[in-house]
Amino acid sequence: MLGKKRIINFVILFLIISIFISNIFCLAQQEEVSVFLDGNLLNTEVPPHINNGRIFLPARDIVEALGGRITWFPALKLLNIIMSDREVSVVMDVPEAEVNGKDITIENAPSIIQNRVMLPLEVISLLTDLEADLDKESNQLNINRKRPLITGIRNYTHPDKTRIVLDLSEKTAYNVLTLNDPERIVIDIDASISQLESEQKEVLIDNLLVSRVRTGQFNQDTVRVVADLKNMNEYDVFELSSPQRIVLDIYMSQEQAGSAAESSFPPEVREETLPETEAAAVKENDKYVVVIDPGHGGSQPGAIGPSGLKEKDVVLDIALKLKRILQNEGFSIYLTREKDVDVSLESRPLMALQKEADVFISIHINSVFQKGSPTAKGVETYVLNSRHTDASAKDVADRENKASEFYNSGDDILDIILGDLSESASIDFSLDLADMVQKRLVQQTGLGNRGVKQAPFIVLKGVNMAAVLVEVGFICNPNEEKLLKTSEFREKIAQALSQSVKDYLKNMPENI
């Protein structure tokens, strides 16, 4: 048993020890760190520091240095950060973050220290892909961003425009400006060119509109792409996703199109720009071959809606309508099936190869079987690639591939169906077509836009032309099933598909 005095002694001793320990921690808490972002010292109003082995940085300084925008809601202690493709929200002292609408758990909560909002390194890594490395001896933290890369530059000369396409590893911010004397269009991209082949850094085009395209690392953060023009013409810059691209279109003026028809240009250029009568245009169209592939058929019903509507019947009707429209305009059209019969997945692209098709379009209706699936909705267009855009793209590919006898759900499916196709130009053609198909379908059907995606489909295997697979709505969704039942809605889909095929063929690059 302890006497009263001894207890008091113990309490005092305990207090002394705890004050001593907390002093040690205090020292540890105050340990300052110097931060280098992409090799440059980050200047901050309050110093970044290590707190119990965790690194905290002043929110505003680091976010602004990363090029993000910050909004602080003091009453809620909520911080909202917008970066180029990400939106992150955190609440002080709450170990959770919302990233692009999704809640995730974080180990270290942000907090207010010395009247400043401080973010743990963990939250900063949610804003941008980075590598961080702390040198414990010098207390120096190096944060290096994984820069978006420009992976390629392509150009196409169309009768009415020149298109320059910049391939990117991911979405990134860009700015456009024009300079004159000589006339130039400049695109500054927040990226690095380290992956660009040296012969791609200056590309000679020398057509009626553009002399050449040059690319260089303008400064540490920026790649500058310069199109040297013959004249300053109307132009358009926009981005496309999956994969990420920035596209510059430079348009031919009326006068240029007119003068191109005069004798000052070689005869082949004149022919391209000569106005055609409608009848001549229709006759022209028969040089284009389109193979239409209604999915499934016969013993393979495809997806089935809640009221029993079968994918195989809807897509056959759409395919027949599309055939009628395109045939009336003179195109050469073949269907992989015209009736409710079994057709193997492998023989479908074979037909497109045998007919030397310019366009191969496979028509399907989407469906998902997970809980809550009746609410899935919208249109998506696929092109073949070795990788899936996202998990749901894999589900769709798995489902549509099931009809193949070679199919198994393992990863070796990629070996079976890929070959070297993903490296060939048909991916670019297919992406161009897919963008047009997706845009027209969304416009004309009013269905939701699920975007252009890439996944390995057997039906698209070995096709060396523009080849896409469309999933026109969800048959599992009672609202979309109802629409798909009507001939009127199927006609809309066929019209959208025919329009996009025509858009594509009209602008098809002749040679790459």
Active site residues: 471
Give me the least distance between CB of 333 and Zn ion, in Å please: 21
Cβ contacts of 427-431, under 8 Å, gap ≥ 24: 427/383, 427/384, 427/385, 428/154, 428/165, 428/512, 429/465, 429/466, 429/508, 429/509, 430/383, 430/384, 430/460, 430/466, 430/467, 430/468, 431/240, 431/243, 431/383
Give me the least distance between CB of 397 and Zn ion, in Å please: 11
Give me the least distance between CB of 343 and Zn ion, in Å please: 12
Give the residue with the Cβ less far from Zn ion, 147 or 364. 364
Give the residue with the Cβ less far from Zn ion, 164 or 315. 315
Give me the least distance between CB of 341 and Zn ion, in Å please: 16
The stretch near Zn ion (CB under 5 A) out of 63-71, 210-218, 292-300, 349-357 is 292-300
The stretch near Zn ion (CB under 5 A) out of 104-112, 302-310, 339-347, 450-458 is 302-310
Going 422 to 204 to 190 to 436, the CA torsion angle's sign is negative
Give me the least distance between CB of 360 and Zn ion, in Å please: 15
E strands, 182-307, are 184-190, 202-204, 210-219, 222-229, 235-240, 245-251, 289-294
Amino acid identity for residue 224 in this structure: R
Count the site residues for Zn ion by CB under 5 A: 4
The alpha-helical segments, DSSP class H, found in 329-362 are 347-354
Give the residue with the Cβ less far from Zn ion, 163 or 348. 348
Residue window 397-416: x/- pattern of binding to Zn ion, with contact defined by CB under 5 A = ---x----------------
Q: Is 428 within 8 Å of 512 (Cβ atoms)?
A: yes
* Residue 105 DSSP SS3: strand
Question: Would you give the DSSP letter of residue 476?
Answer: T
The answer to the question of residue 295 lying near Zn ion (CB under 5 A) is yes
Give the residue with the Cβ less far from Zn ion, 380 or 400. 400
Helix (H) or strand (E) run with residue 472 in it: strand 466-474
The phi, psi pair for 200, rounded to 5°, reads -85, -10
Give the residue with the Cβ less far from Zn ion, 302 or 378. 302
Q: Is 498 within 8 Å of 322 (Cβ atoms)?
A: yes
β-strands 78-82, 87-91: how paired?
antiparallel
Residue window 231-270: x/- pattern of binding to Zn ion, with contact defined by CB under 5 A = ----------------------------------------
Give the residue with the Cβ less far from Zn ion, 79 or 437. 437
Q: Is 310 within 8 Å of 355 (Cβ atoms)?
A: no
The stretch near Zn ion (CB under 5 A) out of 161-169, 202-210, 393-401, 420-428 is 393-401
Residue 144, CA distances (Å) to 38, 190, 272 in order: 5, 15, 50
Instruction: Find the residue with minimal CB distance to Zn ion.
Output: 364
Give me the least distance between CB of 87 and Zn ion, in Å please: 34
Taking the C-alpha atoms of residue 410 and residue 406, their distance in angstroms, rounded to an integer, is 11
The answer to the question of residue 148 lying near Zn ion (CB under 5 A) is no
The stretch near Zn ion (CB under 5 A) out of 34-42, 161-169, 299-307, 415-423 is 299-307
Q: Which structure tokens are listed for 377?
A: 């909705």
Member of 68, 120, 243, 302 binding Zn ion (CB under 5 A): 302
The answer to the question of residue 364 lying near Zn ion (CB under 5 A) is yes
Q: Is 193 within 8 Å of 216 (Cβ atoms)?
A: yes
* Residue 148 DSSP SS3: coil
Give the residue with the Cβ less far from Zn ion, 226 or 345. 345
Give me the least distance between CB of 367 and Zn ion, in Å please: 8
The answer to the question of residue 473 lying near Zn ion (CB under 5 A) is no
Angle at which helices 487-506 and 426-445 cross, to 10°: 140
Residues 6 or more apart whose Cβ sits within 8 Å of residue 19: none
Give the residue with the Cβ less far from Zn ion, 188 or 400. 400
Q: Is 331 within 8 Å of 288 (Cβ atoms)?
A: yes
Give the residue with the Cβ less far from Zn ion, 95 or 374. 374
Give me the least distance between CB of 311 and Zn ion, in Å please: 5
The stretch near Zn ion (CB under 5 A) out of 97-105, 166-174, 243-251, 288-296 is 288-296
Give me the least distance between CB of 364 and Zn ion, in Å please: 3
- Other beta carbons within 10 angstroms of residue 477's beta carbon come to 23
Taking the C-alpha atoms of residue 442 and residue 364, their distance in angstroms, rounded to an integer, is 15
The stretch near Zn ion (CB under 5 A) out of 6-14, 246-254, 364-372, 405-413 is 364-372
Residue among 418, 403, 411, 409 nearest 345 (CA):
403
The stretch near Zn ion (CB under 5 A) out of 180-188, 233-241, 245-253, 296-304 is 296-304
Residues that bind Zn ion (CB under 5 A): 295, 302, 364, 400
